[in-house]
Structure 1
Amino acid sequence: MEEKKMETLHGLVLTDISATITVTSNGCTKKDDFKIELTKSLPPIATFIRVKPDNCDAVAHSIDLVFSLKEVGAAEFKVANPFVPGPAK
């Protein structure tokens, strides 16, 4: 069963080809654990949703996940996710 949770982000880097988000991992977080919901507006609003929890027992740390702008669905967008400082990488 898919558990949907808006992910708290620790950072976002946008280039002309990709969006890199920084999230917390307990050791098992993968890009495939996320999906992106895009709300139509001007500009569109992207929400990064964790669909699979990371239940591993490693020390919490920050990791970067890279999504192409094609995966995001827009080259220019707002982000709905909250941002907070995260654990060290």
Structure 2
Amino acid sequence: DNLVQIGHNVVLGRGCILAGQVGISGSTKLGDFVMAGGQAGLAGHLDIGSGARIAAKAGLMRDVASGETVCGIPAVPIASFMKQVAILQRLARKKNG
């Protein structure tokens, strides 16, 4: 897609899909068939396993295992992210209710 920035020494596996405005810092390695959503940012010197999925606008600062889906800033596994969202919603209701 447009406006993808790939840093020095980055290794892309086969069939990777990078949406617009993805930025990958130097020396990061992406396995085969990794998907990164728009405006995702990947720090340098990371290993991203094959089949991993990085959500749009994620701020990735750690390695990602094969097949794992991460989202948020900082990026965490999607189940953890959804728990965080649910807790914040409950806190907001408690405060307003």
Report the TM range for the smaller structure's normalisation. Answer: under 0.3
The higher radius of gyration belongs to 2
Structure with bigger RCO (C-alpha 8 Å, 6+ apart):
1
TM-score by length of 2: 0.20
TM-score by length of 1: 0.21
Q: Which has the higher strand share?
A: 1
